[in-house]
Amino acid sequence: RVGFLGLLHLEVFNQRLEQEYGAEAVMTAPSVPYRVRIAGKKNISLYGGEEIVVSDPSKLPDPTIITEVLEPMVLGTIITPEKYMFKIISECMERRGVQKSSVNIDGSRVMLQFVLPLNEIIIDFHDNIKSLTSGFASFDYEDHGYVASALVKLDIVLNGVVVDALSSMVHISKAQAVGKRMCAKLVEIIPRQMVHIAIQAVVGSKVVARENLKAFRKDVTAKLYGGDVTRRQKLLKQQAEGKKKMRKVANINLPRETFIDVLKR
């Protein structure tokens, strides 16, 4: 397992691995450790304690037995030219940041401090800060303990099958927006298949977003020249039934880059 300073750093590192060593890396979404508190003596005995640490969202216990989820926080320090200050503040607030201080270092630079959830900054925050400030800002952070938060597990479901690698923990206020963005990205990334693909973002039993990826269409009536219309209807019906069966057993192939591309904002 290797960590990176943003998606650009990851992509450059991965390209060099392939070009210089011919090695193909397995890229997955980054994760952070959550502390999950459990209710019920049987459940506590089953999990070996009242509080467990979960790094993989797909291994989160059933929501009905969870009393509280605590997420890791960081104290971030950003030094930026003063003219970019409000852009930085807006970016941090969008990621559930709480401003702690703002200090003028000299006549042109300011130092901002924000308390931020770790899962909001580990993917593309560093890249965005550099982009917003034309590369002039610096960002550093340190641990700032754990805080209880209203988090839910967001699953991505393809034709009824949960893709564990795309599961993530999100704040309940952002679940629908994140689900819509991920579904829209997957429609662009996943190659069209021989079967229709229903892409859903699900929280518990509730579908918060959905997109459809249309299948390739083969014209089974191309060889027909006139004749009985029922023959045409019969062929179309057989094609629909065949695709329905395929949808139940088909393996949906996801490109290797999907797991990172879908996380980009």
How far, in Å, are 31, 166, 174 from residue 36 at the CA level? 15, 20, 20
Q: What are 109's strand-pairing partners?
A: 81
pTM (two decimals): 0.77
What are the residues whose beta carbons fall under 8 Å from the beta carbon of 197, sequence distance 6 or more? 158, 159, 190, 212, 213, 215, 252
Cα(236)–Cα(137) distance, rounded to whole angstroms?
60
- Could you tell me how far CA 153 lies from the centroid of its own chain? 11
Cα(89)–Cα(192) distance, rounded to whole angstroms?
40
- Could you tell me how far CA 64 lies from the centroid of its own chain? 23
Q: What is the pLDDT, as a whole number, of residue 249? A: 38
Question: What string of pLDDT tens digits covers the 265 residues of the chain?
Answer: 677 766 777 788 888 988 899 887 777 767 889 999 999 999 999 988 899 999 888 889 998 999 999 999 999 999 999 999 999 999 999 999 999 999 998 889 999 999 999 999 988 898 899 999 999 999 999 999 999 999 999 999 988 888 887 888 999 999 999 999 999 988 888 887 777 788 999 998 899 999 998 876 655 455 655 566 676 666 556 656 554 544 443 456 666 666 667 766 6
Containing 103, the helix (H) or strand (E) segment is strand 98-104
Q: What is the pLDDT, as a whole number, of residue 247? A: 42
> Do the two domains 31-149 and 152-261 of this chain adopt the same fold?
yes
Instruction: Tell me the one-letter amino acid at 222.
Output: A
State the CATH class of domain 152-261. alpha beta
What residue segments make up the domains of the chain, in order of their start? 31-149, 152-261
Instruction: Tell me the one-letter amino acid at 176.
Output: Q
3-class DSSP state of 104? strand
Q: What is the pLDDT, as a whole number, of residue 262? A: 74
Count CB neighbours of 32 within 10 A: 16
Q: What is the pLDDT, as a whole number, of residue 133? A: 95
31-149 in CATH: which number? 3.30.70.240
Q: What is the pLDDT, as a whole number, of residue 111? A: 96
Confirm if 220 and 233 have CB atoms less than 8 A apart: no
